[in-house]
């Protein structure tokens, strides 16, 4: 049986929302009795990125659709909040756990340092491995936004924008 925690958080830009994000969210709903989801503000989402990011309200609508389904499926409530910095609301004392990807696990060290300064215990970490396409390459928002793959990791035919049926390494 999987360990369940009281209040678990997960955060991101979720633009575009893809299979890797869905795995993070599923893990949060599997583990938590309540899930706190941080969605980066437009200002934060644009920091350090060269590619365009969908507006907050568009990202929020797509994300809420997914969260509503997971909440119904698992009978777990959630709260969706806008975040403006890397700590988000992870420094709130009632939050006891966090779900992160392998690529973002290092940020939990910074969050835990901030929690320590506030006299709050460190977060329990649940780290989700990189979701990869059939060639073993990580699915990322950058690859999806560039038109290389779709949100499930299937390569796109650049002329039509549709997922290709064949042509993947190892396909017969």
Ordered per-residue pLDDT tens for the chain, 172 residues = 667 678 999 999 999 999 999 999 999 999 999 999 999 999 999 888 888 899 999 999 999 999 999 999 999 999 999 999 988 888 899 999 999 999 999 999 999 999 999 999 999 999 999 999 988 999 999 899 899 999 999 998 766 666 665 444 333 2
On whether both 119 and 157 belong to a single domain, the answer is: no
On whether both 10 and 91 belong to a single domain, the answer is: yes
Residue 167's pLDDT is 41
On whether both 120 and 159 belong to a single domain, the answer is: no
On whether both 125 and 172 belong to a single domain, the answer is: no
DSSP letter for 103, please: G
On whether both 99 and 142 belong to a single domain, the answer is: no
On whether both 62 and 92 belong to a single domain, the answer is: yes
On whether both 19 and 99 belong to a single domain, the answer is: yes
Number of Cβ atoms within 10 Å of the Cβ of 133 = 19
On whether both 108 and 170 belong to a single domain, the answer is: no
Range of the structural domain that residue 169 is part of: 134-172
Residue 170's pLDDT is 34
pTM score:
0.86
Cα separation values, 126 from 24, 43, 53, 165, Å: 9, 27, 27, 34
Segments in 118-172 forming alpha helices (H):
141-145
On whether both 160 and 85 belong to a single domain, the answer is: no
Radius of gyration of the chain (CA): 17
> Burial letters for 139-153: b for 16+ Cβ neighbours within 10 Å, e otherwise?
bbbebbbeeebbbeb
On whether both 146 and 88 belong to a single domain, the answer is: no
Residue 1's pLDDT is 61
Q: What distance in Å separates the CA atoms of residue 59 and residue 166, rounded to the nearest whole number?
A: 31
Residue 134's pLDDT is 86
* Cα pseudo-dihedral 21, 150, 57, 102, rounded to 10: 20
Residue of 165, 101, 171, 162 whose CA lies nearest to 135: 171
Residue 86's pLDDT is 84
Segments in 75-147 forming alpha helices (H):
106-117, 141-145
Number of Cβ atoms within 10 Å of the Cβ of 156 = 17
On whether both 50 and 126 belong to a single domain, the answer is: yes
Q: Domain count of the chain?
A: 2
């Amino acid at each position: 049986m999987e360990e369940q925690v009281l209040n678990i958080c997960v955060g991101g830009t979720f633009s575009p929302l893809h299979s890797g994000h869905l795995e993070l969210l599923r893990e949060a709903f599997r583990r938590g009795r309540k899930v706190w989801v941080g969605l980066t503000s437009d200002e934060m989402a644009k920091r350090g990125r060269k590619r365009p990011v969908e507006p907050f309200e568009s990202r929020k609508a797509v994300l809420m659709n997914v969260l509503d389904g997971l909440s119904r499926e698992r009978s777990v409530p959630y709260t969706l909040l806008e975040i403006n910095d890397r700590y988000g609301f992870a420094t709130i004392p009632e939050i006891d756990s966090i779900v992160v990807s392998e690529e973002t696990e290092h940020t939990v060290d910074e969050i835990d340092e901030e929690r320590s300064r506030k006299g709050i215990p460190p977060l329990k970490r649940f780290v989700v491995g990189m979701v990869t396409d059939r060639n073993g390459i990580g699915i990322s928002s950058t690859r999806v936004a560039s038109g290389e793959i779709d949100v499930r990791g299937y390569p796109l035919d650049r002329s039509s924008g549709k997922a290709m049926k064949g042509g993947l390494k190892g396909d017969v």
